[in-house]
Amino acid sequence: MTLLHPRLRALENSLGVSTLSPIIDPKLSDLRIRLWLKRDDLLHPIISGNKWRKLKYPLNDALVKGADTLVSMGGAYSNHLHALAFAGKSLGLQTIGYVRGEQPKIFNRTLQDLSQWGMELRFVSRGDYRMLRAYKDSDMADLSSNQYWLPEGGASALALKGVSEIVAEMPIDFEHLFVACGTGTTLAGLIAAAPVHCRVTGVAALKGAGFLNREVKQLLSQNQIYTNWQIIQDYHFGGFAKSTADLEQFVRQFYASHSITLEPVYTGKLLYAVFDLLQKGYFKTGQRIVVLHTGGLQGARH
């Protein structure tokens, strides 16, 4: 067990509880299929879901090493930067965020929050942003000794340790575990921790996501081969952060039926995929499914 830095332990103790909530729906009852939603969105209004899971141990590493500045990257609506900026402020650390694209004349609500929480925003061209993606873990060039690098989306080996704790919190047996997939980090952590009989499925939120298979394999231990997983690429709805009227309607209907907020970037596509696969006969009668609600609702803000 990793000994947490006192400042990080205090932040963790302030978090809420992630519940395992059953979803009641006639489509499920007809096939005697049971579905639970792992409500990681309930952990915190800002540092919610897999954002906290992926940040926990990298933040601890930064504190233990004596860093005073966190440096990372993301888009203008980045859940990762949003959580990192708030966590940095809470821990008394400075933050720097490289943001993809030109600086807008008017900041959206996400960028306003980042500025309010003290994050220094550095807007970079898409070409330079792609170059930043080459830096993994804490190996970014030109960092000062007091600065700590976190890759896009928190995609680091240390992040997997926090994600794996999700599985340990689920005291039920299940055959399927579903999660939205952006960088593949959360998926990799779940694959490594899931029971051997469980199929772990990532639903890609972006178009042309074949490269994620390689990214996930690189994140997983090289000493063990995992065959219990897959990435479904058929529910991107046109690409990352793209949506359709059909998807928007599903998100609204899901809230009306279950009082659970989804957003169209990640969790909306995830649940849409699960219910579409249900209608197509993908699951066997009597199977038990867990879907991870990864929080990060910046995509629902206007």
* Whether 101 contacts 78, CB under 8 Å: no
Closest CA to 263 of 238, 297, 293: 297
Which residues, in sequence order, are bridge partners of residue 121? 97
**Three-state secondary structure call for residue 222:** coil
Q: Which CATH architecture has domain 49-154?
A: 3-Layer(aba) Sandwich (3.40)
CA distances from 206 to 226, 247, 269, 270 (A): 23, 14, 10, 12
Closest CA to 79 of 232, 4, 185, 177: 185
User: How do residues 146-161 score in pLDDT, each as one tens digit?
Assistant: 999 999 988 888 999 9
- Domain borders along the chain are 6-45+160-300, 49-154
Pairing relation of β-strands 34-39 and 19-22? Answer: antiparallel
The torsion angle over the Cα atoms of residues 76, 180, 158 and 298, rounded to 10 degrees, is: 30
Estimate to the nearest angstrom the gap between the alpha carbon of 230 and the chain centroid.
17
Q: Which residues of the chain, if any, have pLDDT below 70? A: 1, 137-141, 222-223, 296-302
pLDDT of 223 reads 67
* pTM reported for the whole predicted model: 0.92
Q: Which CATH architecture has domain 6-45+160-300?
A: 3-Layer(aba) Sandwich (3.40)
Residue 199 per-residue DSSP state? E
* Whether 119 contacts 95, CB under 8 Å: yes
CA–CA dist 257, 248 (Å, integer): 14
Same fold, 6-45+160-300 and 49-154: yes
pLDDT of 49 reads 85
The residue with tokens 């409500």 is 39
pLDDT of 140 reads 66
pLDDT of 30 reads 85
Question: CB count, 10 Å around CB of 144?
Answer: 10
* Whether 81 contacts 99, CB under 8 Å: yes
